[in-house]
Amino acid sequence: MGGLLVIIFVLFVLYRYKVKSQKIIEKQNETIKNEQESLKKQKERLELVLEGTGLGLWDWNLETNSVIFDERWANMLGYAFEEITPSLETWKSKVHPDDIEKCFDDIKSHINGESKFYNNIHRILHKDGKWRYILDRGKIVERDKEGNPTRFTGTHTDITYIKETELKLKKKQYTISQYIQLIDKYIITSSTYLEGNITDVSDAYCKISGYSKEELLGQNHRITKHQELDSKVHQEMWKTITQDKTWQGEIMNQDKSGNTYWVEGTISPKYDENGKKIGYTSIRQDITDKKLIEELSITDGLTNIFNRRHFNEVFPSVINSAKRDNSLVSFIIIDIDYFKQYNDTYGHQKGDEVLMSVAKCIKDLIHRADDSFFRLGGEEFGVIFKAESKEKAKAFADKIRIEIEKLHIEHSGNSVSSYVTISLGLVCKNANEIKNDGEIYKDADDQLYRAKESGRNKVECLI
């Protein structure tokens, strides 16, 4: 009898293992499919954003060594899209022989991790037989499991006029008056009184901000400040310049129409002839295209929240930062209950809408600047957040669960509710109790599995 019980138990364990393995395989297949769709939508989104900016987009698959160029690249060289084959070989054949080596040195430097961003200026042959100067910017946006780069995306801009102007200036072919006019037209500059009210702006500043000079003069620089700009950036800037030092950094601004643009700025004190400080002068460079590529590399294309790649970069630094004062680290893994059944019943288009709705709901619940929200893959999400206590961390996790069910999204395949629900695995520990990010991730994943095995639509905790 005892032997029979042992056999039954072993068969039961094998059955459970088989069921769990099948679920894991199904989930992995679903995740791969969702990620492929997400990448497609990411590219479509960036194309839409770049439409009308004058920037061309390129996308380089490093595994197949194939590069896709968009229509704007062909137009920039004077060709209709059907007149030229947009490939890596075509690009190489068009680049000036004296510039090609530097191009690949800069590319290699970025791929090897020696530079945060690929940034190169080279000459390329136009259809009319003349050389054009191109500003090329790009970044690795995908890596394989071993960390090897697999996808390289970037933009290209025709800067011929600016480059030719620089060369003429070096040869002193411009008068002082012409030089001042060129600066006014192409360099984003402004001057302010000590309190920050604008006294002068260049035409280039007016162009990027969308405001006329009349609308800007006398206004505070806050007129172009973006509401989502981290307040710490603004505080650090004012702290630096009020101490008579020069500040340098990146600033997110908003133009008159409400569109976001980014500048890299240098702000310095301005003095009168007696050495008395009377205000500040700033010189800015438009880096919107650079920030767009950076955003693409860390954003999930479907839900517009952070992606798994960014999670892998952020999580270890959050833990290390928390270890300075041994503060609490709270991490939740969230999974939509019976999501495969939802897709089978309502279709993948509706499934995508559920993912977007769930993401928006959770994002709206996260208010602290230090909290982060990620799509980890498929229907799985992650939240890193700060909590004053373990009890409040658990209460926040349960609030997320309740708010998702309150969306009242019909789900006939959900055995625990008539609506879409989620299961959550929460881990909340003091930082010095955590060995590494892999450990806390596994703990949260184990808690999520417990939540699903014990009925779903619930929070299981390790605190």
Annotated active-site residue 379? The verdict is yes
Cβ neighbours of 302 (radius 10 Å):
22
Please name which of 280, 268, 282 lies closest in space to residue 192, comparing C-alpha atoms: 280
Cα distance between residue 419 and residue 289, in whole Å: 41
Reduced to 3 states (helix: H, G, I; strand: E, B; else coil), residue 260 is: strand
Cα distance between residue 64 and residue 79, in whole Å: 26
- Residue 414, both tokens: 């959900």
Cα distance between residue 161 and residue 274, in whole Å: 39
Cα distance between residue 375 and residue 299, in whole Å: 9
Q: Are 62 and 152 in contact (CB under 8 A)?
A: yes
Please name which of 322, 323, 462, 336 lies closest in space to residue 393, comparing C-alpha atoms: 462
Cα distance between residue 270 and residue 177, in whole Å: 22
At CA 39, angle to CA 34 and CA 40, rounded to 5? 100
Cα distance between residue 149 and residue 22, in whole Å: 31
- The maximal CA–CA distance of the chain, rounded, in angstroms, is 105
Tokens 């892999």 label which residue? Answer: 438
- Residue 134, both tokens: 């191109």
- Residue 181, both tokens: 């006019």
Residue type, 78: G
- Residue among 26, 47, 51, 379 flagged as catalytic: 379
Query: What's the 3-state SS for 412-431?
Result: CCCCCCCECCEEEEEEEEEH
Q: Are 319 and 311 in contact (CB under 8 A)?
A: no
Q: How far is CA 100 from CA 78, 94, 114, 127, 318, in A?
A: 21, 9, 19, 19, 41
Please name which of 226, 219, 225, 228 lies closest in space to residue 196, comparing C-alpha atoms: 219
CA 179, 202, 285, 185 torsion-angle sign? negative
Q: Are 57 and 72 in contact (CB under 8 A)?
A: yes
Q: Are 336 and 379 in contact (CB under 8 A)?
A: yes
Residue type, 109: S
For the annotated catalytic residues, the residue numbers are 379
